[in-house]
Chain A
Amino acid sequence: MKKTPLALLFTLGALSAPSFAADASSLDLVQPISDYKIYVTDEVGKLVTETKAFTDAVKKGDIATAKKLYPTTRVHYEAIEPIAELFSDLDAAIDSREDDHENGVKADDFTGFHRIEYGLWAQNTTKGYEGFADGLNNDVLRLQKQIADLTFPPEKVVGGAAALMEEVAATKVSGEEDRYSHTDLYDFQSNVDGAKKIVDLFKPQIVKKDKAFADKLDKNFATVDAILAKYKTKGGGFETYDKVKDADRKALIGPVNTLAEDLSTLRGKLGLD
Chain B
Amino acid sequence: MSDKDQAPHSPDRRRVLLGLGAAGAALAGSGLACPMMAHAASSEEHKVTEAPKSDKTQDRHVYEGVHQSGIVNARPAAGMMVAFDVLAADRESLQRMFRVLDERIRFLMQGGPVEDIDPKLPPLDSGILGPNVTPDNLTITVSVGASLFDERYGLAPHKPKQLIRMVGFPNDALEADRCHGDLTLQFCSNTPDTNIHALRDIVKNLPDLLYVRWKQEGSVPAQAPAKPGEPEQSARNFLGFRDGSANPDSNDSRAMDQIVWVQPGGPEPAWATHGSYQAVRIIRNYVERWDRTPLQEQETIFGRKKASGAPMDGAHEFDIPDYHKDPEGKVTALKSHIRLANPRTPEAQANLILRRPFNYSNGVMKNGQLDMGLLFICYQADLLKGFITVQTRLNGEPLEEYLKPTGGGYFFTLPGVTGKDDFIGRSLLQAAEKGKTA
Q: Is B227 an interface residue (CB 8 A)?
A: no
Q: Please state if B170 and A92 are interface contacts (CB–CB under 8 Å).
A: yes
Could you tell me if A264 and B396 are in contact, using CB atoms closer than 8 angstroms? no
Chain A residues, CB < 8 A from B301? 15
A266 to B335: give the CA distance in the assembly, Å.
24
Q: Which residue of A is nearest B180, CB measured?
A: A102
**Is B368 among interface residues, defined by CB-CB distance under 8 A?**
yes
B179-193 near A? 1/0 per residue, CB < 8 Å? 100000000000000
A31 within 8 A of B: no
Chain A, residue nearest B286 (CB):
A170
Residues of A with C-beta under 8 A to B35: none
CB-contacts of A60-108 with B (<8 A): 88-89, 92, 99-104
A174→B367 contact, CB < 8 A = yes
Q: Which residues of B contact A104 (CB under 8 A)?
A: 176
For A102, give its contact among B175, B300, B330, B366 (CB under 8 Å): B175
8 contacts between A and B (CB under 8 A): A15-B398, A88-B396, A101-B168, A103-B176, A170-B286, A257-B288, A260-B288, A260-B292
Select which of B292, B335, B400 is within 8 A of A15 by beta carbon: B335
**A273 interfacial by beta-carbon distance below 8 Å:** yes
Give the CA-CA distance A105 to B411 in the complex, in Å. Answer: 27
Instruction: Tell yes or no: B293 within 8 A of A by CB.
Output: yes
- Check if A173 is an interface residue, CB within 8 A of chain B: yes
8 A Cβ contacts from B351-371 to A? 365-369
Interchain CB contact under 8 A, B170 and A170: no
Q: Is B138 in the interface zone, CB < 8 Å from A? A: no
CB of B74 within 8 A of chain A?
no
Tell yes or no: B333 within 8 A of A by CB.
Answer: yes
The answer to whether A6 has its CB under 8 Å from any CB of chain B is no
* CB atoms of B367 and A100 under 8 A apart: no
Q: B174, B176, B286, B292: which contacts A261 (Cβ < 8 A)?
A: B292
A149 to B293, CA, bound (A): 28
- Whether a CB of chain B sits under 8 angstroms from the CB of A217 is no
Say how far A170's CB is from chain B's closest CB, in angstroms.
Answer: 6
A212 within 8 A of B: no
Cα distance A267–B296 in the bound complex, in angstroms: 12
Q: How far is the CA of A166 from the CA of B369 in the complex (A)?
A: 11
Specify the main secondary structure of chain A where it touches its partner. helix
* In contact, B333 and A15 (Cβ under 8 angstroms): yes
Say yes or no: is B64 at the interface (Cβ < 8 Å to chain A): no
Interface residues on A, range: 20 to 34
Q: Pick the contact of A253 from B175, B289, B368 — CB < 8 Å? A: B368
Q: Is the CB of B292 within 8 A of A102?
A: no
Q: Is the CB of A15 within 8 A of B300?
A: yes
A268 with B366: CB separation less than 8 A: no
CB-defined contacts of B368 to chain A, threshold 8 Å: 173-174, 253
Interface residue from A14, A16, A174 paired with B366 (Cβ < 8 Å): A174
Residues of A within 8 A of B293 (CB): 264
Note all chain A residues with C-beta closer than 8 A to B365.
174
Known: A17-B300, A174-B368; 19 extra A-B contacts, CB below 8 A, are A15-B398, A101-B168, A101-B174, A102-B176, A104-B176, A162-B292, A166-B286, A166-B289, A166-B292, A169-B288, A169-B367, A170-B289, A173-B367, A176-B367, A257-B288, A260-B288, A260-B292, A261-B292, A264-B294
Which A residues touch B377, using CB under 8 A? Answer: none
Residue of B nearest to A170 (CB): B367
A15 to B369, CA, bound (A): 27
What are the nearest 6 A-B pairs in CB distance? A264-B292, A102-B174, A174-B367, A174-B366, A100-B173, A166-B289
Q: Which of B173, B292, B294, B366 has the most CB of A within 10 A?
A: B292
- Which residues of chain A in 199-237 are interfacial with respect to chain B, using CB atoms and an 8 Å cutoff? none
Which residues of chain A have C-beta atoms less than 8 A from B400's C-beta?
A: 88
In chain A, what residue has the closest Cβ to B172?
A102
| A contact residues around B289 at 8 Å (CB) | 166, 170, 260
Asked if B297 lies at the interface with its beta carbon under 8 angstroms from chain A, I say yes
Closest beta carbon of chain A to B285's beta carbon, Å: 13
> Contact at B333–A101, with CB atoms within 8 Å?
no
Docked complex Cα distance between A169 and B289 (Å): 9
Q: Which of A249-273 contact B (CB under 8 A)?
A: 253, 257, 260-261, 264, 267-268, 273
Q: Are B173 and A101 within 8 A (Cβ)?
A: yes
Residue numbers in B under 8 Å from A166 (CB-CB) = 286, 289, 292
What's the Cα separation between A145 and B206 when bound, in Å? 59
In the complex, B72 has a CB within 8 A of chain A? no
Within 8 A of B (CB), among A164-182: 166, 169-171, 173-174, 176
B334 CB within 8 Å of chain A: yes
Query: Which chain B residues in 137-185 approach chain A with CB under 8 Å?
Result: 168, 170, 172-176, 179
**Which of chain A's residues have a CB closer than 8 A to the CB of B294?**
264, 267-268
Complex alpha-carbon distance, A229 and B329, angstroms: 48
Q: Which residues of A contact B369 (CB under 8 A)?
A: 169-170
Most buried by A among B294, B365, B400: B294
- Compute how far the CA of A169 lies from the CA of B333 in the bound complex, rounded to whole angstroms: 29
- Verify A17–B330 contact, CB threshold 8 A: yes
Contacts known (A104-B176, A174-B366); A273 close to B296, Cβ less than 8 A: yes
In the complex, chain B residues whose CB is within 8 Å of the CB of A174: 365-368
Chain B residues with CB below 8 A from A101, complex form: 168, 173-174
Q: How far is the CA of A162 from the CA of B368 in the complex (A)?
A: 18
Residue of B whose beta carbon sits closest to that of A98 = B173
CB distance from B254 to the nearest CB of A (A): 38
